């Protein structure tokens, strides 16, 4: 029987899902978390390993000669030395497309919270402020209507288009920048160049991958091209933003607010400048995490292993 090891299963399955699909395919050992110095020992003589954010290096592969299959419990796979795996004939698979709906929904959730501060006003009511209010209503922040405003989306793949559809349904004009354009995208948005997007958008949502050309795309020079009072959303990759530049723009009011589910280093460092920025909503990288999305991830993870065992691996990132 094949030995299967999951190095860091807790974030994918803190207890509300079942590993049964994988345990049916081999002798399964699940670790909630694994530190860097424990990786090789925990893999041991296993043939199959799953990881989410625990790195698997060339040295680990050298120390685990039985290893035949690596699967990442996420879409991004930079934590695996895929070149070394290819040299050793080890396929590396990932989980594509599982969180499209959830991530698009979360981008809009951050935007609506910025526009209405729902949680704050509910807390104020529970604190007794409405009961003691001399007027029949009150609000502590400007309330923003989105209909008629322009949403600019950088990266218009599956997730960007999901966000665009929701924004359009709320009456927003949607513009998009992407290296690839097609008719499906044109049904949702008007494609524009990057400078036009910066100049025209009231809200900018980042849904692009992290490439050398997109790293730091939100920086002081590009912020200067934006409308005063723009709102910026990022639940893609933290390094898309130069964080000190965004902090400065938030504190001067050039950027009205930001909704961020990702930062440059995760977990966030205590000295991250955005922790002290005005109007900056930060959540702990949870866009992907609804149970429905994680179940979809689990199902694909099982399918990846079944396909490999059947001799026709799928979702291989190092063919």
The DSSP annotation for 139-198 comes to -SS-----TT-EEEEE--SHHHHHHHHHHHHTT-EEEEE-SS--HHHHTT-EE--HHHHH
Look up the pTM and report it.
0.95
Please give the structure tokens belonging to residue 254.
């050039």
Taking residues 6-25, what's their average pLDDT? 98
**What are the start and end residues of each CATH 3.40.50.720 domain in the chain?**
3-98+291-309, 100-282
Q: Quickly state the pLDDT bin for 217 (edges 50, 70, 90).
A: very high
pLDDT for the residue numbered 237 = 96
Q: If we measure between CA atoms, which residue out of 64, 46, 63, 40 comes closest to residue 2?
A: 46
Digit-coded pLDDT (tens) for 44-97: 999 999 999 999 999 999 999 999 999 999 999 999 999 999 999 999 999 999
285 included as an active-site residue: yes
Beta bridge partners of 258: 232, 280
pLDDT for the residue numbered 166 = 98
Digit-coded pLDDT (tens) for 239-276: 999 999 999 999 999 999 999 999 999 999 999 999 99
DSSP 227: P
Compute and round to an integer the Cα radius of gyration of the chain: 22
Beta bridge partners of 104: none
| DSSP per-residue string spanning 228-289 | TTEEEEE-S-GGGB-HHHHHHHHHHTSEEEEEES--SSSSPPTT-GGGGSTTEEE--S-TT-
Q: Is the peptide bond before 267 cis (omega within 30 degrees of 0)?
A: yes
184 included as an active-site residue: no
Q: If we measure between CA atoms, which residue out of 150, 142, 153 comes closest to residue 178?
A: 153
Q: If we measure between CA atoms, which residue out of 115, 111, 109, 43 comes closest to residue 80?
A: 43
Phi, psi for 231 (deg, rounded to 5) = -110, 135
CA atoms of 308 and 319, how far apart (whole Å): 13
Q: Which fold has domain 100-282?
A: Rossmann fold (3.40.50)
Contacts 24+ apart (CB under 8 A), 266-274: 266/238, 272/243, 273/243, 273/244, 273/247, 274/243, 274/246, 274/247, 274/250
Question: Which of 207, 237, 294, 296 is flagged as catalytic?
Answer: 237
CATH of span 3-98+291-309: 3.40.50.720
Please give the structure tokens belonging to residue 315.
């979702």
Residues 90, 68 contacting (CB under 8 angstroms): yes
| Beta strands, E only, 32-131 | 48-51, 69-72, 92-93
Secondary structure element (H or E) that encloses residue 27, with its range:
strand 27-30
Q: If we measure between CA atoms, which residue out of 223, 177, 246, 207 comes closest to residue 107?
A: 207
Beta bridge partners of 176: 153, 191
Digit-coded pLDDT (tens) for 105-130: 999 999 999 999 999 999 999 999 99
CA atoms of 266 and 248, how far apart (whole Å): 21
Please give the structure tokens belonging to residue 109.
């959730």
pLDDT for the residue numbered 274 = 98
CA atoms of 175 and 151, how far apart (whole Å): 6
Residues 92, 316 contacting (CB under 8 angstroms): yes
Secondary structure element (H or E) that encloses residue 41, with its range:
helix 39-43
Q: Quickly state the pLDDT bin for 11 (edges 50, 70, 90).
A: very high
Taking residues 299-310, what's their average pLDDT? 98
292 included as an active-site residue: no
Q: What percent of the chain has pLDDT over 70?
A: 100
Question: Which of 87, 145, 213, 266 is flagged as catalytic?
Answer: 266
Q: For helices 118-126 and 100-116, give the axis angle rounded to 10 degrees.
A: 60
């Amino acid at each position: 029987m094949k030995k299967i090891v999951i190095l860091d299963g807790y974030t994918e399955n803190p207890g509300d899902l079942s590993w049964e699909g994988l345990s049916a395919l081999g002798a399964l050992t699940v670790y909630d978390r694994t530190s860097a110095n424990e990786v090789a020992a925990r893999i041991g003589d296993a043939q199959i390993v799953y990881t989410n954010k625990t790195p698997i290096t060339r040295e680990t592969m050298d120390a685990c000669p039985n290893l035949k299959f690596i699967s990442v419990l996420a879409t991004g796979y930079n934590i695996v030395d895929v070149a070394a795996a290819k040299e050793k004939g080890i396929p590396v698979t990932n989980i594509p497309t599982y969180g499209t709906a959830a991530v698009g929904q979360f981008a809009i959730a951050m935007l609506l919270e910025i526009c209405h501060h729902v949680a704050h006003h509910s807390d104020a009511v529970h604190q007794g402020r409405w009961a003691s209010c001399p007027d029949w209503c009150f609000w502590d922040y400007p309330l923003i209507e989105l209909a008629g405003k322009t949403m600019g989306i950088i990266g218009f793949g599956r997730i960007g288009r999901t966000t665009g559809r929701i924004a359009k349904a709320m009456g927003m004009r949607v513009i998009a920048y992407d290296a690839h354009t097609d008719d499906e995208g044109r049904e949702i948005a008007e494609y524009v160049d990057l400078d036009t997007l910066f100049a025209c958008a009231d809200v900018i949502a980042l849904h692009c991958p992290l490439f050398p050309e997109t790293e730091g795309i939100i920086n002081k020079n590009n912020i200067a091209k934006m409308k005063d009072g723009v709102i910026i959303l990022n639940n893609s990759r933290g390094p898309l933003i130069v964080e000190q530049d965004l902090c400065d723009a938030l504190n001067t009011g050039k950027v009205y607010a930001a909704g961020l589910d990702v930062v440059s280093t995760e977990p966030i460092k205590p000295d991250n400048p955005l922790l002290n920025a005005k109007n900056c909503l930060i959540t702990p990288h949870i866009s992907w995490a609804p149970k429905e999305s994680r179940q979809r991830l689990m199902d694909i993870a099982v399918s990846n292993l079944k396909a490999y065992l059947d001799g026709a691996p799928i979702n291989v990132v190092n063919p």
